[in-house]
Amino acid sequence: MSENQPPKKDQVYADPRAQVDAFAFDEGVADVFDDMIRRSVPGYGMTLSLLGIIAQHYAKPGTRIYDLGCSLGAGIASMGSKLDTPDITFHGIDNSQPMLDRCRPNLADVDKRHTVELHCQNIQDTPIENASIVVLNFTLQFIPKEERHELLARICQSLVPGGILVLSEKILFDDPHIQEDLTTLHHDFKRANGYSDLEISQKRSSLENVLVPETIDAHESRLAAAGFARDEIWLQCFNFASFLAFK
Ligand SMILES: Nc1ncnc2c1ncn2[C@@H]1O[C@H](C[S@+](CC[C@H]([NH3+])C(=O)[O-])CC(=O)[O-])[C@@H](O)[C@H]1O
Ligand SMILES: O=C(O)C(=O)Cc1ccccc1
């Protein structure tokens, strides 16, 4: 059950958690994904629009821009639709075929200016090279924690001098009171966007062990260990944050 499928009328859940399948980026999710993520992730829209500004500053001629976990291509569209930097190739990678099937129509403006390659692939298997920008916009959280370092180290090695990683993630807080309060605010955000308490609870259960957030410290320690010289949080909305990491 995902939040785009309201519970059947009169279907009584003894324990809502017991009835919830693990979240998957399937056809049903792909059909409603843009609406779902905008109503679920505070700051998602701003993250996307400012990604376009970031790309204009850091894209280098003759290099590649990777969007790892590109979904419907919103990140590529934001970065590429107004980008004048010459000889840029975008690589959009996602292991959900339903997402990629819906991606190309969203890239019409980018296709007029740049080459865009889309690959249905596990990002952990994606060759990355000659990159001025790599984007992990709410994707690393779906990679097993113990495998995140190798991916980030490969990304760092793939960047040209002056290259950057944009890493956006759901985050945890060490202070249990802050964790509780920011989770409550996140759920308030979802409720304000029309989700019911049952939908919020079922989505939370479906994401357990699928979307695995970490603290800001954990991310920053891993970025340093992966070879990034410095990083900074440039946007945070409740329990969602985005980092710029510099080679
Ligand atoms: N191992 C993997 N390999 C490839 N793709 C993966 C993997 N794991 C998950 N995905 C893909 O990563 C995306 C995560 S959504 C990213 C939003 C987008 N960046 C956006 O800015 O709109 C964020 C969210 O749903 O919270 C989905 O499309 C998955 O299929
Ligand atoms: O973290 C959450 O509670 C979410 O709902 C994030 C999310 C948004 C869209 C698809 C999967 C997870």
The model carries a pTM of 0.93
Going from the N-terminus, what domains does the chain have, and what CATH number goes with each? Answer: 1-247 (3.40.50.150)
Is the C-beta atom of 171 inside 6 A of ligand 2? no
Residue 146 neighbours by CB under 8 Å, 6+ apart: none
Q: Please report which ligand is nearest the Cα atom of 148.
A: 1
How far is ligand 1, taken at its centre, from the CA of residue 11, in Å?
31
Q: Is 43 assigned to a binding site?
A: no
Task: Kindly give the number of the ligand 2 atom that is closest to the alpha carbon of 207.
Answer: 12
Q: What is the DSSP letter of 111?
A: H
One DSSP character per residue, 116-144 reads EEEEES-GGG----SEEEEEEES-GGGS-
What are φ and ψ of residue 142, in 5° steps?
-100, 0
ipTM above 0.85, yes or no: yes
Distance CA 151, CA 68 (A): 11
pLDDT tens-digit profile, the chain (247 residues): 344 445 454 444 545 555 789 999 999 999 999 999 999 999 999 999 999 999 999 999 999 999 999 999 999 999 999 899 999 999 999 999 999 999 999 999 999 999 999 999 999 999 999 999 999 999 999 999 999 999 999 999 999 999 999 999 999 999 999 999 999 999 999 999 999 999 999 999 999 999 999 999 999 999 999 999 999 999 999 999 999 999 9
- Ramachandran region of residue 32, left (φ > 0), alpha (ψ -120 to 50) or beta? alpha
Task: Kindly give the number of the ligand 1 atom that is closest to the alpha carbon of 211.
Answer: 26
Q: Is 4 assigned to a binding site?
A: no
Is the C-beta atom of 200 inside 6 A of ligand 2? no
Q: Is 195 assigned to a binding site?
A: no
Residue 222 neighbours by CB under 8 Å, 6+ apart: 148, 149, 152
Tokens encoding 220? 């920053």
